[in-house]
Amino acid sequence: MIKNRFLTISLAIVLVLSILAGCTGSGGSSKDSASNGEVEIKVWLTPQWKGVLDASEDGADYDSFFKHAAKRFSEEYKDHKVKVTVEVVAGDQRDELLNVNLNGGTPPDVFFESVFAMGDYAHRGALVPLNDIVDDEAKKDIAQSHWDNVTFGDDIYFYPFSQNPGTLTYNADMFKAAGLEKYIGGEEEIKTWTLTEYEEILNALKANLPKDKYSNAYPMGLYALNNQGDTWNLAYLRMFGNQFFDNEGNLIINDENGVKAANWLKKIYDDGLTNPGAESVSSNDVNAMFQNQQLAVSFTNAILFNNAKADMESGKAPKFDIRLANIPSASGDPLTFTYVTGATVFDTKDETRIKVSKDFVKFISTDPELVKASKNGVPVRTSVAKEFSAEKPFFAAYSANDQYMFNFTGNVPGYSQLRQVLYPELQALYTGSKTAKEVVESYQTKGNEVIESSKADSVIYK
Amino acid sequence: MKIIKQSYKENLTGYLFIAPQILLFLIFLVYPIIEGVRLSLFKISYQDEVFVGFDNYRRLFSDPVFIQSTINTVIFVVFIVALTVGFAIFVSAAIFDKNAKYVSFIRGAYYIPVMVSMVVMSMIWSFLLNPANGLIPFIAREMEIVSVNFLGDTKWVLPVIIFVTFATNVGQAIILYIASMIGVPKELLEAAEVDGASKIKVVFKIIIPMVKPTTIYIIIMNIIAVLKIFVVIQLLTGGGPNNASTTLMYYLYNNAFKYNQLGIASAVGVIMFLITLALSIPQLRAMFKEN
């Protein structure tokens, strides 16, 4: 009797487990979708710009451009009948969604996103190189610095489409109210201040900003709740000349200049030159505070800046004189970085889908009409930037900044995890539980551990 | 032999009846547990899986953030469960024998936060406590009271999370206790009244012992729920400042979905499973013994 029961239960368990094993086993196997005639590819993107070419179009949304491009591609593509499905995913859900889908064997075919956020997937062997779809004409039209940004090891993994340079933004009305007229730049200028001037500005804002007009307002936005917007924190840590990565891609923040930069951040925080509670304030909070005129200086990028202006025009946010400035440094040269955005192709193990996906990426990145959409950020193509230079005067200002550009990721493996190491250290700095020296030391040690273990797993370093 | 066969046939009918449930149990509970244990012994990348034995566990125990997460989780479990049980007994014992409408009102008032999504609750608390533009720090600044950063101070962040979670969950325990206390035989309470026992004596000598099964149930359920505490951490503190409020579940989530360290995340899952099992077995045994 007991034996029979045992047998029945055992058989049931074996049966269920073998069914499950059968279900999961097929995930990784390669398959070819060409046999059924129609090739279906999935295109994912995080919110970038609305509309095909412009947000003023009827029904403009984040997927408008890709839906339009997909329709044209399906009509014009000769090799296969193609169906392209487009899906917009939230930026802060990107890694969660991708990791779940990669582990389940169902990655998207194409992903359009900022390159810095996706580099890890190249190191993990989840992306396919795009060298074969990049021609000499494109190489000439797009600056080498952008190609460097999308090259991991020897291969190109992203087709650069547009860029989104990061700067500071300031409320010129608040500057005027604090008697800082001489530091205000032109409306279409990215103003460069020296570090001494910047400190003067922050101190003057703290002392002279009229409390009745700007109650509960602070000179500068500072945040360290999570990894969002951490590129500006990385830039601040370079203020005194630290180069961040050595030639082997290891962190070298723990030196005199790194400590000076961390001390500077702690000092402006302690002196009340920033919003309080930076350790538990997010970049979103800071952005909202700036739009509500509770901060005089904040972080921004080209897209955020345009959105802020649009919000003011539409009455969603209070209207004020908003302008751009560079992140200052001790040397006097501005610190600038850019988010290159572009499309990448995932290794779905399906040769046909990979081929069609590559052709789709080439189509959106080279078609003369479609590449015009890059004007919504800053075009990476010189030809497009030239075409819209009269309409978009900031393009020239961003272009002048190119010479000061630094590659904030260093294209190192494990960058996503490296980002998770920085903000707890900054929190420790602001709460006073660690000194500036301890913070850079600890960040370097933990960061290099992440880089080392990611290098061991990286297909590019193998 | 014939009898045994017949009895087996009868049992087989029973097995067939429970087969759908068993099948779902095996697929959605047993299989993930087995797979979790298996994954915890592998290093997993997009390209391949490499067997690493107990390496993931060794890495975990040498990671100070994991140790901090474990300590924080234990603190949350102890304080939230103790507060929930203590407060729920206090409120329920005070009102269960009052007017039915009054009992309903109190029950409803405490139960409303349970019905509200934890996400919404966390966002409201974030709005109240945000040090830069939150309501409480703003009022403190306006009144020129020394403002404390409740979410950014390592001394305050744990008590704040304990309070927020407790305030959101206590309604469930109150509902269960009131129902259980209403079920206490009236004769016992009347006899105590005749004997001139004080309310405190009635609570401690009659009510609390009589609702012991409910207490055990609430303790087990709350321990399991608090071990999995995640949303409030994700939305309110992000595990900060400097990992001071990271919990095991948050650590697991980060490893599984942000860093793609599935082996490490599975090892955390296995450890959490063992902790829950270890905590639940003695309590369940006590409950069954009583019955």
Chain B contact for A283 (CB, 8 A cutoff): no
Q: Residue A235 pLDDT > 90, yes or no?
A: yes
- Assess A99–B contact: CB distance below 8 Å, yes or no: yes
In the predicted structure, residue A31 carries a pLDDT above the cut 80: no
Closest-CA residue in chain B for A17?
B31
Q: For residue A108, what pLDDT band results from cuts at 50, 70 and 90?
A: very high
Report CB contact under 8 Å: A431, B258: no
Q: Does A305 touch chain B (CB under 8 A)?
A: no
Comparing CB atoms, the residue among B138, B242, B259 nearest residue A433 is: B242
pLDDT band at A56 (very low <50, low <70, confident <90, very high): confident
Question: Which chain B residues touch A286 with a CB distance below 8 Å?
Answer: 132
pLDDT tens per residue across span A322-336: 999 999 999 999 999
| CB atoms near residue B122 (< 10 Å) | 21
Decide if pLDDT at B281 tops 50: yes
Q: Give me the pLDDT at residue A182, please.
A: 95
Phi (first) and psi of residue A170, to 5 degrees:
-140, 160
Lowest mean pLDDT among A22-36, A147-161, A431-445, B65-79: A22-36
Whether A89 and chain B come into contact, CB under 8 Å, resolves to no
Nearest to A424 among B12, B47, B243 (CB): B243
Assess contact for B44 and B262: CB atoms under 8 A. Answer: yes
The pLDDT tens digits of the residues spanning A246-300 come to 988 999 999 999 999 999 999 999 999 999 989 989 898 899 999 999 999 999 9
Is the pLDDT assigned to residue B171 strictly greater than 60? yes
User: What pLDDT digit, counting tens, does each position of A121-158 carry?
Assistant: 999 899 999 999 999 999 999 988 889 889 998 999 99
Residue A11 scores a pLDDT above 80: no
Query: Is A102's CB within 8 Å of B46's CB?
Result: yes
Pick from A100, A277, A428: CB nearest B242: A428
Alpha carbon of A1: minimum distance to chain B alpha carbons (Å): 7
A281 in reach of chain B (CB within 8 A) = yes
pLDDT of B290 over the 60 cut: no
Q: What ranges make up the beta strands (E) of A132-263?
A: 151-152, 155-156, 159-171, 190-191, 218-220
| Contact yes or no for B151 and A4 at CB 8 A | no
Share of chain A above pLDDT 70, in %: 92
> What pLDDT shows up at residue B241?
87
Task: Provide, as residue numbers in chain A, all residues whose Cβ is less than 8 Å from the Cβ of B133.
Answer: 216, 285, 288-289, 292, 294
Would you call B47 and A459 a contact, using CB atoms and an 8 Å cutoff? yes
Q: How many residues does chain A have?
A: 462
Average pLDDT of the segment spanning B169-180? 93
Question: What does the pLDDT look like over A198-216, one tens digit per residue?
Answer: 999 999 999 999 988 998 8
Of A18-22, A259-263, A293-297, B277-281, minimum mean pLDDT range: A18-22
Partners of B138 on chain A (C-beta within 8 Å) are: 216
Q: Is pLDDT of B11 > 90?
A: no
Choose the closest CB to B131 out of A96, A100, A280: A280
Q: What's the average model confidence in pLDDT over B171-199?
A: 91
Alpha-carbon gap, residue A273 to A276, rounded angstroms:
9
A118 touches chain B (CB under 8 A): no
| Chain A residues in contact with B34 (beta carbon < 8 A) | 17
What are residue A87's phi and psi, to 5 degrees?
-135, 130
* pLDDT computed for residue A34 by the predictor: 53
- pLDDT for A272-281, tens place per residue? 999 998 998 9
Are the Cβ atoms of A288 and B133 closer than 8 angstroms?
A: yes
CA distance, residue A202 to nearest chain B CA (Å): 17
Q: Which residue of B has its CA nearest to A19?
A: B27
Whether residues B242 and A425 touch (CB distance < 8 A) is answered with: yes
With beta carbons less than 8 A apart as the criterion, state whether A271 and A218 touch.
no
Encode pLDDT of A315-372 as tens digits: 888 999 999 999 999 999 999 999 999 999 999 999 999 999 999 999 999 999 999 9
B130/A5 CB distance under 8 A: no
Mutate to test the interface with B, among A280, A294, A460 (most CBs of B within 10 A): A280
> Is any Cβ of chain B less than 8 angstroms from the Cβ of A109?
no
Which pLDDT score is estimated for B3? 67
Q: What stretches of A236-336 adopt beta strand conformation (E)? A: 295-301, 322-325
Weakest mean pLDDT among A133-147, A163-177, A302-316, B53-67? A302-316
CB A230 within 8 Å of CB A423? yes
Which of B132, B137, B254 has the CB atom closest to A289's CB atom?
B132
Residue in B with minimal Cα distance to A96: B257
Query: Tell me, what's the pLDDT at B239?
Result: 87
A-chain CB neighbours of B45 within 8 Å are: 124-125, 457
Contact: A431, B31; criterion CB under 8 Å: no
Separation of alpha carbons A243 and A232, rounded Å: 15
Q: Is the pLDDT assigned to residue A427 strictly greater than 50?
A: yes
Q: Which of residues 198-217 of A touch B (CB under 8 A)?
A: 216
pLDDT-based confidence at A62, cuts 50/70/90?
A: very high
In chain B the first and final C-alpha atoms are separated, in Å, by 36
Q: Dihedral through CA B202, CA B204, CA B207, CA B213, nearest 10?
A: -170
Q: How far is A91 from chain B (nearest CA, A)?
A: 13
Q: What average pLDDT does this structure show over A397-406?
A: 86
Number of Cβ within a 10 Å radius of residue B233: 25
Cα separation, A341 vs A30, in Å, equals: 29
pLDDT at A411: 85
Size of interface A-B (CB pairs under 8 A): 131
The pLDDT value recorded for residue B224 is 86
| 8 Å CB contact of A294 and B152 | no
Nearest alpha carbon to residue A273 among A181, A347, A205:
A205
**A124 at interface of B, judged by CB pairs closer than 8 A:** yes
* Interchain contact A457–B (C-beta under 8 A): yes
- Give the model's confidence band at A29: pLDDT under 50 very low, under 70 low, under 90 confident, else very high: very low
Chain A hits for B26, CB-CB cut-off 8 Å, are: 12-13, 16-17
Locus of tokens 């329709």: A71
Chosen for mutation from A100, A279, A433 (greatest number of chain B CBs closer than 10 Å) is A279
Partners of residue A457 in chain B, C-beta under 8 Å: 45
Lowest mean pLDDT among A15-24, A128-137, B3-12, B269-278: A15-24
**Bridging pattern class, strands A155-156 and A110-114:** unpaired
- Name the β-bridge partners of A345: A110
What span, in angstroms and rounded, lies between the C-alpha atoms of A275 and A205?
12
Of A126, A123, A80, nearest to A99 by C-alpha is: A126
Q: Which chain B residue lies closest to A2 (C-alpha atoms)?
A: B8
Check residues A306 and A447 and name the one with the higher pLDDT. A447
